[in-house]
């Protein structure tokens, strides 16, 4: 595997008016790896994606794709990218096959080459029998599958995937990841994706945790989880404030409270919990111990749950598309 960066993001800053949404963010995506951007809505992920795929101008810093500058070599960058947006990018009046043909033609893919690629992908995603139906007649989940097929038709060097599993059932998600892994083995495909699904982030080689436009950490899922510092204890009690005070007074851990649920880390939870139960009789309704997850990593870094944060980031223009010039 070539370990040179497929994407280099160097001290990127971006403002909307007076509000800065990216604060000197830097991260490399090694060629042939899958990297997940994990963070709440509005944390700057969508803005970063639009900068990489050249939909909005770079204000400060530098972004390179396969060593090509997104500002000075925009068209060459676009030819190397496959981009899946959260917003639909299909013509509902055209059939599935016609949508794929339009996209293939932008990349110069016609004739036998197009027929072979589209047939294989349509078959694998269970769309072959619907290929000649208008996209507008399909369900939301089926349309998402068509978008996934469309982005894979050109066999891009680098894939940018914004919440790729939106609307997909479990079987389709598994098949999609199987195809991505096969493409990586065959072509050295690089993938940068955003996701709110922890199991999807866990499939990636590395996870970049982003919050409020800043990179908090960037490592493999296992390395990130190892930094949590022990087992994760989750308990529900009748007096969470009293329980929180006792735990913080008798341990060196920080407690995260969400209603009547307390969550905290402890290096030796199995041996410590009996002491807690004896000291707080009748106050604990339920208790569990688990290995750290990426959700726990986010809580460890920010003190907040990933899904409890309401940040705002300007929504992408739904009419904006990446156009490849020959």
pLDDT 10s digits, 223-281: 999 988 778 999 999 899 999 998 988 887 889 888 889 998 888 888 888 888 888 88
% of the chain exceeding 90 in pLDDT? 54
SS3 272: helix
The position carrying tokens 């995260």 is: 256
Q: What is the DSSP letter of 87?
A: S
Q: For residue 322, is pLDDT > 50?
A: no
Q: Which of 1-10, 149-158, 176-185 has the lowest mean pLDDT?
A: 1-10
Q: For residue 311, is pLDDT > 80?
A: no
Q: Decide the pairing of beta strands 190-194 and 19-30.
A: unpaired
% of the chain exceeding 70 in pLDDT? 93
Q: What is the reported pLDDT for 313?
A: 55
Q: What is the reported pLDDT for 266?
A: 86
Domains observed in the chain: 5-220 (3.40.50.300), 229-291 (3.30.70)
Among the ranges 3-12, 165-174, 303-312, which has the highest mean pLDDT value?
3-12
Residues forming beta bridges with residue 256, ordered by sequence position = 263
What DSSP string runs through 126-143?
T-GGGTTSBGGGS-HHHH
Tell me what the mean pLDDT of segment 71-76 comes to: 95
Q: For residue 13, is pLDDT > 90?
A: yes
Q: For residue 111, is pLDDT > 90?
A: yes
SS3 73: coil
Q: For residue 323, is pLDDT > 60?
A: no
C-alpha to C-alpha distance for 159 and 156, rounded to whole angstroms: 7
Mean pLDDT, rounded, of the chain: 88
Q: What is the reported pLDDT for 159?
A: 95
Q: For residue 316, is pLDDT > 80?
A: no
Q: What is the reported pLDDT for 320?
A: 40
Would you state the structure tokens that stand for residue 243, as one six-digit string? 């329980």
Q: What is the DSSP letter of 255?
A: P
Tell me what the mean pLDDT of segment 304-326 comes to: 51
Q: Are 63 and 294 in contact (CB under 8 A)?
A: no
């Amino acid at each position: 595997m070539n370990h040179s960066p497929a994407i280099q993001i160097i001290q990127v800053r971006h403002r909307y008016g007076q509000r800065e949404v990216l604060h000197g963010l830097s991260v490399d995506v090694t060629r042939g790896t899958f990297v997940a951007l994990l963070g709440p809505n509005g944390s700057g992920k969508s803005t970063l994606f639009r900068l990489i795929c050249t939909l909005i101008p770079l204000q400060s810093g530098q972004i390179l794709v396969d060593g090509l500058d997104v500002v000075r070599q925009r068209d060459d960058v676009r030819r190397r990218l496959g981009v899946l947006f959260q917003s639909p990018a299909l013509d509902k009046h055209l059939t599935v096959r016609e949508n794929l043909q339009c996209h293939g033609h932008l990349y110069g893919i016609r004739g036998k080459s197009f027929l072979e690629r589209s047939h294989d992908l349509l078959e694998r995603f269970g769309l072959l029998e619907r290929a000649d139906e208008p996209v507008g007649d399909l369900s939301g989940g089926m349309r998402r599958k068509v978008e996934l097929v469309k982005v894979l038709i050109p066999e891009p060097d680098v894939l940018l995937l914004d919440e790729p599993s939106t609307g997909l059932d479990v079987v389709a998600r598994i098949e999609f990841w199987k195809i991505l892994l096969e493409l990586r083995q065959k072509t050295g495909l690089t993938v940068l994706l955003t996701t709110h699904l922890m199991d999807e982030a866990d499939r990636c080689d590395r996870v970049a945790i982003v919050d409020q436009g800043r990179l908090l950490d960037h490592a493999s899922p296992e390395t990130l989880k190892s930094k949590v510092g022990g087992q994760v204890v989750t308990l529900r009690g009748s007096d969470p404030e009293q329980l929180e005070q006792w735990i913080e007074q008798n341990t060196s851990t920080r407690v995260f409270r969400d209603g009547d649920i307390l969550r905290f880390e402890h290096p030796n939870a199995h041996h410590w919990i009996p002491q807690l139960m004896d000291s707080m009789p009748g106050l604990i309704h339920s208790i569990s111990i688990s290995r750290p997850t990426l959700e726990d990593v986010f809580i460890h870094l920010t003190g907040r749950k990933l899904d409890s944060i309401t940040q705002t980031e300007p929504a992408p223009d739904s009419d904006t598309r990446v156009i490849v010039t020959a």
